Chain A
Amino acid sequence: MTAASSLAIAVSGLTKRYGTVTAVDGLGFEVASGRTVALLGGNGAGKTTTISMLLGLLLPSAGTIRVLGHDMLSERHRALPRMNFSSPYVDLPHRLTVRQNLTVYGHLYGLKDTRARIAELAADLDIAHLLSRPSGKLSAGQKTRVALAKALLNDPALLLLDEPTASLDPDTGDWIRTYLRDYQRRTGATLFLASHNMQEVERLCDDVMIMKSGRVFDRGPPQALLDRYGRSNLEEVFLDIARGRTAADPAPPPPAAEPPARDPRLPGGGSGPESLSE
């Protein structure tokens, strides 16, 4: 295996402009095969734009992207059979049952035995009892597991995940994280995820890239970032960066979340759901 082919993702000078707005600005990074890497950043930092370009759904204004050794601008269809994607924000057709959806995607990914693969994933992801139900009738947690089944149909060498545990209860979220970690260890796949869940990132990822204003602001293994910023968790690092602090600045006290503003419309000027329940 050559050095180049051991890279699952290699991005250079990646830029996306919408008119005068630059969403991603000269991004450059590499992700080695078999690693789990997170992309963090505030809203509008350029995470979704970056993932969309990695998937080939969005064409960059400038720069190059190589995925699994293939140039995504000229030969993305050589990479696509070995990669997959899951996002809570991109639905599967609601009218089709889970089995029908998985069958269609099984054929699209050229599976040798789609039926057997669906049965295998249904057992793994505990969705066998959902196979005959319309995809539109599932709960958020069930949808996430079905979307993950779709994303794993082709046994992807590169799996891109956009907020894989968004809107899930802690138990389901934990279950998904455990499954992803086991999948990565078992198959040696590369996982690249965008997330706002810092605990998830600390638990799953070997490496973290923090984006700000369309650029990678800082990067490193979770522990190295904590050490560099003198913080005890990634959320504090994230807040430091969001508020303009760099690793070179002396560490201030842990940034406390501001108390919620009191809402004069609520009885007694309540400050949130707790007040409402009183």
Chain B
Amino acid sequence: MSPHDHRPPHPPEQGFSPIQRPTSTVFAPRRVGAIVLRHLYVLKSSVPRLLELAYWPTVQMVLWGFITTFFVQHSSWLAQAFGVLLAAVLLWDVMFRGNLGLSISFMEEMWSRNLGHLFVSPLRPYELVAAIMTMSFIRTTIGLLPAALLAIWFYEYNIFAMGLPLVTFFANLLVTGWAIGLAVSALILRHGLGAESLAWVAIFAFGPVSGIYYPIESLPGWLQPVAWALPPAYVFEGMRAVLFDGTFRWDLFGGAVALNVLYLGLAVVLFLRTFTKARRLGLLLDVGE
């Protein structure tokens, strides 16, 4: 006999059983936390996954550190601001990791064919979105922190010396990564895991027009409006303003925030609409290729 043998039957209209905490059916941080916990369990159980998070940013940082060291001795432009390339590499990886961290967290649910269980629980789709955004932040931080710290040791370059502007750059690029990651996740939900390579490659289309390593004005004239329609252009121009001129450009910050709000909003709408479409097509139980 277990203790619940003596539990009286509960009329369904009561809403919750006595062993449940009455929880908002609209938004519950506890449900978001449950999904975050699920992904932390995955990370905790797999050392290779943890190492993988930090591996590529560190390799990139080492490579670009040597290139920077060489260029600084041969380029007056770079010599004005040692570390501009390293900062660009690390910040680009914020966007890349932000996108990948979100997409992979979503694909984990598809790989484990868990969406059917998740969405017969009280979990709301936007709670899942909030959870995988949180996981993206955690994964990005785990991935980039070692690289940023090693840069201090290897090249005596401290990206944290940028101070508060760095926080704004990090936040804006992370949100851009989320927007791209959510759009990609929507496509994967709609078209199955056969589309999962998009999670890795889609973001690279934004590289040439993001002004990561060069000013936007160096792009062909017809391409510059495209660049200015994307948040990373504002962030990387802002980064150069801080590193070259020592000034924080509020106009660039404002542009990045406004565009991020727009694109993240659109991506959330796209994901939620695709989720509804997936319910219409029966894709939540049929999530293979």
Contacts and interface: CB of A to CB of B under 8 A. Distances in A.
Contacts of A113: 19
Interface string A104-120: 11011111110001001
A194 B16 CA distance: 26
Given A69-B13, A85-B117, A110 B23 contact: yes
Contact of A5 (B11, B22, B41, B280): B11
Contact of B285 (A52, A78, A84, A104): A52
A276 interface: no
Contacts of B121: 80, 105, 108-109
Given A1-B13, A84-B120, A91-B114, A110 B3 contact: no
A203 interface: no
Interface residues of B, number: 54
A49 interface: yes
A56 B13 contact: no
Interface string B1-45: 011110101111111111111110110101101110110011001
B284 A57 contact: yes
A59 B275 CA distance: 11
Interface in A126-143: 134
B46 interface: yes
A33 interface: yes
Interface in B117-162: 117-124
A154 B20 contact: yes
Nearest to A155: B17
Contacts of B282: 18, 49, 52, 57-58
Interface string A85-97: 1010111111111
B80 interface: no
A120 B113 CA distance: 27
Contacts of B273: none
A77 interface: yes
A110 B21 contact: yes
Consensus secondary structure, chain B interface:
loop
Given A52-B282, A77-B124, A1 B11 contact: yes
Contacts of B225: none
Contacts of B42: 93, 95-96
Q: Which range holds the interface residue count of chain A? A: 35 or more
B15 A82 contact: yes
Contacts of B16: 81-82, 110
Contacts of B17: 82, 154-157
B12 A158 contact: yes
A124 B13 CA distance: 27
12 contacts: A57-B285, A58-B280, A58-B282, A77-B122, A80-B25, A82-B16, A90-B285, A91-B114, A100-B41, A107-B30, A113-B19, A124-B2
Interface of B: 2-5, 7, 9-23, 25-26, 28, 30-31, 33-35, 37-38, 41-42, 45-46, 108, 112-114, 116-124, 276, 279-282, 284-285
